[in-house]
Amino acid sequence: MFSEKRKVVISVNEIDKNNAGPKAKTDIDKILKKQNFEIINLRFNWHSKVLKFKYINFDIPKIMKNLVADEIVFQFPTYSRALMNAFIKNIRNYTSANLIFIVHDLECLRSFKDDPTYKIEEIKWLNEADGLIVHNESMAKWIRSHGVTTPIVILGLFDYLNPQPINQDYQYSKTICFAGNLKKAQFLSKIPVKTVLNVYGPNFKSKLKDSVRYKGVYTPEDLPAHLTENFGLIWDGSSADKCDGVYGEYLKYNCPHKASLYLSSGIPIIVWDKAAISKMVTENKLGYAISSLNELPDLLNEITSSEYSKVKKNAITFSKDLRSGKHIIDAIDAIEQIIF
């Protein structure tokens, strides 16, 4: 599928004693390594001004001066403006490679939403690339509307290398789970009393309704073995009636990684109907979309065993693509055909 060029993936992660890098990035590294990409995985402590100066003025230029490549796939962004600028500058100064960004997040819509200068800079970075791989059409439309002219290919959901067996249980018992950082899942206090929600992840608050049941925290690789529920919930913010706040609004543009977690495990999804992935979920019959958490009790009661079997079967089929790396492989192939 890939032509005989020297291809490199650059992944940048913050140094953390217990973290080799976010799973979405490390999975892409593993998938593309099997497609004959060289992997350059860099770990920086960008909270140290002295080390950041060293990275920008010595380490990054040295890496790029010695790099011979026809294609550089960069896992975007670095979450440090100075490092991002240094990478682009040195890639352009010292290589003639085509530069492809796999866009994991648009931070101007998330962490830097209230910083107009960051949006200007992020748009500039996106225009520096030769090709972009972005989550979905909503994200692509936003990027285009803000002046980015770089060719774009849609990824869809991030692949999820899932080492656990696919959940093959078709029995419908009206169960639902939520996995994520529970500190920002303020909506948990608004879950309808009649709906039992099993939750997984760090920072659980014990002072919640009895219907919200804590099931522990596990690594991204181990977690799927513990997900036995019928559905996985995708919701964010503090409200039951909509996904609000910075992260809730961000669902209108991103493909959350927990969607990949659920579906790669063979678990259908229930998602906010304004989320960017809701159309994909409903059109492919991978689950259901709701406008409010208050719809959960009626929805779970109305779904028949036969209807559940259909979405369950579709989720299991879809899980095989996510586990194989098909999404990123196809996206790389598509963007290469455009820019080469």
- Full DSSP string of 246-272: HHHHHTTT---HHHHHHHHTT--EEEE
Q: Output the pLDDT for position 18.
A: 43
Give dist(CA 200, CA 26) in Å, integer. 22
Domains contained in the chain, number = 2
Which residues constitute the domain of residue 263? 176-323
Using a cut of 0.85, tell me whether the model's pTM lies above it. Answer: yes
Residue that wins the pLDDT comparison between 47 and 241: 241
Same domain, 213 and 148: no
Q: Are 159 and 27 in contact (CB under 8 A)?
A: yes
How many of the other CB atoms lie within 10 Å of CB of 319?
22
Give dist(CA 122, CA 142) in Å, integer. 13
Q: Report the pLDDT averaged over residues 163-173.
A: 97
Tell the residue number behind the tokens 């992840």, with chain if given: 201
Same domain, 335 and 225: no
Q: Does the residue 166 lie in any domain?
A: no
Q: Does the residue 220 lie in any domain?
A: yes
Same domain, 180 and 283: yes
Tell the residue number behind the tokens 């890496």, with chain if given: 63
pLDDT band at 207 (very low <50, low <70, confident <90, very high): confident
Q: Are 269 and 234 in contact (CB under 8 A)?
A: yes
Looking at every residue in the chain, the average pLDDT score rounds to 95
Q: Are 65 and 94 in contact (CB under 8 A)?
A: yes
Same domain, 261 and 332: no
Same domain, 296 and 335: no
pLDDT at 46 over 90: no
pLDDT band at 21 (very low <50, low <70, confident <90, very high): low
Q: Does the residue 164 lie in any domain?
A: no
CA neighbor of 98 nearest in space, from 125, 122, 132: 132
